[in-house]
Amino acid sequence: MGNVILCTFLHCVDLELVIDYISKSYAINNNRIAIYNLYNDKYNTICVYSIPGDYELTYNTIKIHRKSDTNTLYTINALNELIKLVNNGVHDESYKVDWDIFANKLIIIKQGSLKKLDIEFNRMEYIK
């Protein structure tokens, strides 16, 4: 089974505690956790990290995907909704998304609606 990217939502004041919790909960690939500032949400920070294969989600954590050249993070459900939104309501798996429009965004479904939240890379945290 391949690698999975997870995203944990938190308040910045809890960052060290959450990093410790993540590092004890998962085998993190490359021992790296990317820290992003999150805007327009009740949480103001996200931790993004890759783990191998099987996993069980912990509190405030979702599985995401990443488009690295535009620094776009997204869930598959949100991508499907996004395609319908920009493609006149039609879901077409072959639709080519213009990722530049969504640079530095976290695209998720939250409370039943599509959210495009601004993110900014803060730093890389290396764990032991």
- Cα–Cα distance between 49 and 6 in angstroms, integer? 6
Q: If pLDDT is split at 50, 70 and 90, which confidence band does 45 have?
A: very high
**pLDDT on residue 122:** 97
- Cα–Cα distance between 41 and 54 in angstroms, integer? 29
Asked if residues 5 and 98 have their Cβ atoms less than 8 Å apart, the reply is no
Mean model confidence pLDDT for the chain: 95
- Cα–Cα distance between 124 and 32 in angstroms, integer? 7
**pLDDT on residue 43:** 84
* pLDDT tens column, 99-120: 999 999 999 999 999 999 999 9
Checking if the pLDDT of 24 tops 90, the result is yes
Checking if the pLDDT of 74 tops 80, the result is yes
**pLDDT on residue 125:** 96
**pLDDT on residue 50:** 97
**pLDDT on residue 109:** 96
**pLDDT on residue 103:** 98
Residue owning tokens 């997204």: 74
Residue-range domain boundaries for the chain: 3-126
Q: What is the pTM of this model?
A: 0.93
**pLDDT on residue 71:** 97
Checking if the pLDDT of 42 tops 90, the result is no
Please report, for residues 2, 8, 28, 32, the alpha-carbon distance to residue 50 in angstroms, rounded to integers and kept in the order given. 10, 11, 6, 8
Dihedral angle computed from the Cα positions of residues 53, 104, 128 and 14, in that order, rounded to the nearest 10 degrees: -110
